[in-house]
Amino acid sequence: MKDVTDLHAEFGGERLPPGQRKTSRFPVLSKGGTPSVDDPTLEVWGAVEEPLTLSLPDLEALGAERQRQDFHCVTGWSRFDCEFRGVPFPRLAERAGVADDAVHVMFHAHDGYTTDLPLSECDREEVLFAWELDGEPLPADHGGPLRVVTPHKYAYKGAKWVSGVEFLTEPERGYWEKRGYSVDANPWKERRYA
Ligand SMILES: Nc1nc2c(c(=O)[nH]1)N[C@H]1C(S)=C(S)[C@@H](COP(=O)(O)O)O[C@H]1N2
Ligand SMILES: [Mo]
């Protein structure tokens, strides 16, 4: 299994980011209820050569892998050693063929949630479209059947119940980013609020 729990070194910080406390629980944080998603398909559109509609088997076929990752919530808790299985963002970007003028990405979710990141900050091996947690299908409360995880950012950058990935030629703001949360969301720099 690929272990990316050392990625704090890239950001010059300790494994536990400043102002965070470690928990062994896995709290659920959602802006509303848990939507039911029977048939997960992921739409990919915007500044790409080929818009895609991908099923879970399609995602699997792009090259799924298991990764050990830490999970940092902006409200102050961190859960170490989450084992997610999914497909890394770069596999999907390669498949869609990202246009030269794409600079930013918006993730869309079934509960109406959105979140945005610069393309360079989500085109990373540890950004996963994940459907398994700790060897089990991803629980619905945690975003099952399909979510994004962003261990190098606060977890609001990882859309649960993800429905779409939109490549943008100009930055736009997601749900929490419009409401004052940081676009950067770097836990080691404590970029919590804009
Ligand atoms: N679709 C969707 N994704 C979401 C959210 C949400 O409300 N809806 N909340 C975000 C926030 S603020 C956090 S901290 C994490 C929480 O993930 P968890 O419930 O698995 O702990 O999901 C993020 N992704
Ligand atoms: Mo959060």
For residue 193, give Cα distances in angstroms to 81, 125, 179, 186: 26, 26, 9, 10
The pLDDT of residue 178: 98
Asked whether residue 20 is assigned to any structural domain, the reply reads yes
- What spacing in Å lies between the alpha carbon of 158 and ligand 1's midpoint? 7
Q: What is the DSSP letter of 119?
A: H
Asked whether residue 17 is assigned to any structural domain, the reply reads yes
Average pLDDT for 54-78? 97
Asked whether residue 165 is assigned to any structural domain, the reply reads yes
Asked whether residue 194 is assigned to any structural domain, the reply reads no
Asked whether residue 109 is assigned to any structural domain, the reply reads yes
Asked whether residue 34 is assigned to any structural domain, the reply reads no
Name the token pair of 18. 């400043």
Q: Which CATH number goes with the domain that contains 80? A: 3.90.420.10
Nearest to 63 by CA among 2, 142, 138: 2
Asked whether residue 31 is assigned to any structural domain, the reply reads no
E strands present in 9-155: 21-22, 41-46, 52-55, 65-72, 77-88, 104-109, 114-118, 128-133, 136-137, 147-149
Reported pTM: 0.98
Q: Which structural domain, as residue segments, surrounds residue 164?
A: 2-26+39-189
> Which pLDDT tens digit goes with each residue over 84-143?
999 999 999 999 999 999 999 999 999 999 999 999 999 999 999 999 999 999 999 999
Q: What is the DSSP letter of 130?
A: E
Q: How far is it, in rounded angstroms, from Cα 93 to Cα 101?
A: 14
Asked whether residue 114 is assigned to any structural domain, the reply reads yes
The structural domain count of the chain equals 1
- What spacing in Å lies between the alpha carbon of 156 and ligand 2's midpoint? 5
By most ligand atoms within 8 Å of CB, the mutation choice from 30, 75, 176 for ligand 1 is: 30
Question: Residues near ligand 1 with C-beta < 6 Å?
Answer: 27-31, 73, 109, 111, 113, 142-143, 155-156, 158-161
Name the token pair of 69. 């990752």
